[in-house]
Amino acid sequence: MTTMRPFIAFLFPLALLAQTTGTLNLYPPSPANEQAELNQAVTEANGSTVDVARALEQHLLRYPNSPRRSEMEAAIYKAATDLNDRSRIIRYGDALLKGKPQSELEVLDRVIRAYLSADDADSATKALAYCARYESGVAEMRSRQPEGHATAAQWADLADRAFARATVLNARASGNLGNIENAIAEARQSWTASPSAEAAREIARWLAKRAKDADIAEAITHYADAVTVEDGRSPWSDRDRDRKTVTDLYLKLHGGPEGLAEIFQQAWDRTALATHDRIARYKAMDANYGQTDPFAYVLPPPGILPNASPMDTRNLNMATLRGKTVVIDYWATWCGPCIAEYPLIDNVKKKYAASPDVVFLSLNADDDHSLVEPFIKAHNWDPRVYLESGLAGLLNVTSLPMLIVFDPSGAVHSRISGFNTETFERILGARIEGARLIAARSAAAK
């Protein structure tokens, strides 16, 4: 089985050591005395995150030149993020950022936020310096080809969200340093890139600092946006606080509640339109963007742009396969086991050649689509191949080869990861028959 590069989520989770004795013992030992003390310290922490962090800190005090120092600092940083320990996030995040850590953008985001949890100028200055690095990193990310089998639209969405987080933190740091105009401008950029409660709140915060009636009136609208915008990262407690802020500012400005309800209604309409426009922007790049139903996907063959019209007859509209048992084979040109598995799948496919209710679907997962057609011709494979176009992410396909069997209701009936040459055909046939049986039982019940 070949492991695929991990799919992107909120900005690429940091791959750090687990704080367990077993994990730490997997590495080549340091000098005997140090290794023995480290093993004992971690064992005595008994799996407690805070105790492991403390034990590793004490170990580094005793062995400041340990060859495993960077490994332990990374583990302490991970523990600090789990514990939301501001001082350790800053201390060990700073240490990580002296180099170029894996998932650098996530580390920058956490460290900047830790600095900005205080409002003093020194913290804001340090945060602002990291903000510049954050924005530069986002620009570099945007320039790369999509990774982890993200589609172009998904990659653009990730980049826009990352840029929005970087600029909203820049706004907060700038405001804390007294540069209110820059704070407002940066927060507006964040909202434009990816509307969020945090961006709306930051615009409102610095407009209100101006203390002019016109600015306060505009701040009220942005606080209302923070209440109503679709944003899974904004908890209800924050929205409730923003709602109270809107009410307080409105009463102070207007002397009464008349018209307050309209402020929120207008915000609902405004933020719904902003969300619609954002989705439309990505839909124009990829018709499958935001789809959560596998049978709503439109899959292009190699050589067709992913943003081609869904009406292009060369595309496969998954909706046409509803009501059938569908066997999806995920493969890639670089996957040796996929190539070895192909003739076995083909044997099973031939057994169902006269069964129109069973469909075999070959989905390619290569990042470089130009490799697919030459590969198919060179290996004399069935040319009816389509690009996975983000469906692998929806179905959480993280390794190859992978077969997914859908029953006629559209539910996943089975997943087969890897294969055994002696049993594969029998197992796949049994899974297909199991899926077909669901349809037969459903028909008999009617």
What are the tens digits of pLDDT across the range 338-354?
999 999 999 999 999 99
Given pLDDT bands bounded at 50, 70 and 90, which one contains residue 305? low
Whether 225 is covered by a domain: the verdict is no
The amino acid sitting at 433 is E
Which phi and psi (to 5°) does residue 403 adopt?
-115, 135
Whether 51 is covered by a domain: the verdict is yes
User: Is pLDDT larger for residue 257 or for residue 369?
Assistant: 257
Is 1's pLDDT higher than 70?
no
pLDDT at 2: 55
Contact 310, 317 (CB under 8 A): yes
pLDDT at 102: 86
- Which of 153, 170, 205 terminates a domain? The answer is 205
Contact 382, 362 (CB under 8 A): yes
- Which of 154, 172, 205 terminates a domain? The answer is 205
pLDDT at 276: 95
pLDDT at 258: 96
Whether 27 is covered by a domain: the verdict is yes
Q: What is the mean pLDDT of the chain?
A: 89
Is 189's pLDDT higher than 80?
yes
Is 59's pLDDT higher than 90?
yes
Q: What domain count does the chain have?
A: 2
Whether 106 is covered by a domain: the verdict is yes
**Cα separation of 15 and 267, whole Å?**
39
Kindly tell me the sign of the dihedral angle through the C-alpha atoms of 246, 249, 252, 255. negative
Segments forming the whole domain that contains residue 388: 294-445
Distance of CA 213 to the CA centre of its chain: 41
**Mean pLDDT of all residues in 366-388:** 92
Share of the chain above pLDDT 90, in %: 78
Whether 366 is covered by a domain: the verdict is yes
Please give the full DSSP string across 161-202, using - where no structure is assigned: HHHHHHHHHHHHHHHHTT-HHHHHHHHHHHHHHS--HHHHHH
**Mean pLDDT of all residues in 204-230:** 96
Whether 37 is covered by a domain: the verdict is yes
**69: domain CATH number?**
1.25.40
pLDDT at 441: 75
Closest-CA residue to 407 (of 362, 442, 445, 444): 442
Same structural domain, 181 and 50: yes
Closest-CA residue to 131 (of 154, 98, 161, 162): 162
Same structural domain, 298 and 187: no
Whether 142 is covered by a domain: the verdict is yes
pLDDT at 359: 97
Given pLDDT bands bounded at 50, 70 and 90, which one contains residue 7? very low
Is 19's pLDDT higher than 80?
no
- Which of 205, 237, 253 terminates a domain? The answer is 205
Q: Which of 9-13, 118-122, 318-322, 406-410 is predicted least confidently?
A: 9-13
Share of the chain above pLDDT 70, in %: 89
Rg from Cα positions in the chain: 27
What are the tens digits of pLDDT across the range 248-302?
999 999 999 999 999 999 999 999 999 999 999 999 999 899 999 999 999 999 8
pLDDT at 420: 87
Same structural domain, 311 and 185: no
Given pLDDT bands bounded at 50, 70 and 90, which one contains residue 429? very high
**346: domain CATH number?**
3.40.30.10
Same structural domain, 185 and 310: no
Closest-CA residue to 152 (of 362, 300, 339, 334): 300
Q: Please tell me the pTM assigned to this model.
A: 0.81
Whether 240 is covered by a domain: the verdict is no
For the beta sheet containing 412-417, the strands, ordered from the edge strand earlier in sequence to the opposite edge, are 385-387, 358-364, 325-331, 402-406, 412-417
Same structural domain, 19 and 133: yes
